[in-house]
Amino acid sequence: MSTLYVVGTPIGNLEDITLRAIRILGEVDLILCEDTRTSRTLLNKYDIKTSTMSFHTHSGLAKIDKIIEMLKEGKDLALITDAGTPAISDPGSLLVSKVRDEMGEDVQIKTVPGPSALTAALSIVGLPDHQFTFIGFLPHKKGRETLFSKIADSKKESFVFYESTHRIEKTLESLKEHFEKVETPARKIYLARELTKMFEECLVGSAEELIEKTKADSNKVRGEFVVVVGPNF
């Protein structure tokens, strides 16, 4: 029986990979990569010689059919993304769904757990143990303000989402406006920036305080962000 391994890879620091992940990536017949050039850096570091093939958000159904055929032939495959855990705001969920529907019990789908920016951020912000909603990447336009309104209206729930360097300042401004509308301007926000990388940093404060910090130092809006909006206690 063939196996599709869903393998978590480092979100920044290449040392954040499990021994099992290194072994599996070295043993499978093929590694499916979001970007083979990006993944090669990781594979070279651990002297992994396994062949690779691209599989990303824009891969069509024909590519999925090809992957399923390889599994039907008995090949073991590993799915990785550029960083983090596949299918968590990264490519992979459609492939896993199609493989499961098409092959049923004729294939094993196994997780090789590893880093995720979501859990990495939550582990360092110090929120109390309670529920949160993970939004993933915010939409660029349609529905964006609706989400900010939902976040502002929620009193006891935390929200987590990913944001880029190009939109983080605008996001803080929007949160500030929505919090002021519902009279919760002091609601705490955590900006986890460049997690596990050289310039890793976690900024904490109200939307207004964070806007002041980022305006005072442009370096603080560089990189990729995990934004955690705490509850309104």
Q: Which of 87, 112, 137 is the last residue of a domain?
A: 112
- Identify whether residues 91 and 135 lie together within a single domain: no
At residue 233, the pLDDT reads: 67
Q: How many angstroms separate the CA atoms of 192 and 204, rounded? A: 9
111: nearest Cα among 137, 87, 82: 87
> Residue 107: enclosing H or E segment and its boundaries?
strand 107-112
- Identify whether residues 68 and 144 lie together within a single domain: no
At residue 51, the pLDDT reads: 98
To 5 degrees, how large is the angle CA 226–CA 230–CA 231? 150
- Identify whether residues 184 and 130 lie together within a single domain: yes
- Identify whether residues 125 and 217 lie together within a single domain: yes
| CATH number of the domain to which 172 belongs | 3.30.950.10
- In this structure, the strands spanning 2-7 and 77-79 are parallel
Sign of the CA dihedral with 57 first, then 58, 61, and 63 last? negative
Range of the domain at 131: 117-229
- Identify whether residues 160 and 212 lie together within a single domain: yes
- Identify whether residues 136 and 220 lie together within a single domain: yes
- Identify whether residues 122 and 219 lie together within a single domain: yes
- Identify whether residues 66 and 136 lie together within a single domain: no
Rg value, the chain, Cα: 20
- Identify whether residues 216 and 125 lie together within a single domain: yes
Q: Consecutive sets of 10 residues in the chain, 233 residues long: mean pLDDT of each? A: 97 97 98 97 98 93 96 98 92 94 96 95 86 91 91 92 94 96 94 96 96 93 95 80
| CATH number of the domain to which 78 belongs | 3.40.1010.10
- In this structure, the strands spanning 158-163 and 2-7 are unpaired
Q: Which of 112, 143, 171 is the last residue of a domain?
A: 112
Q: Which of 67, 92, 112 is the last residue of a domain?
A: 112
At residue 22, the pLDDT reads: 98
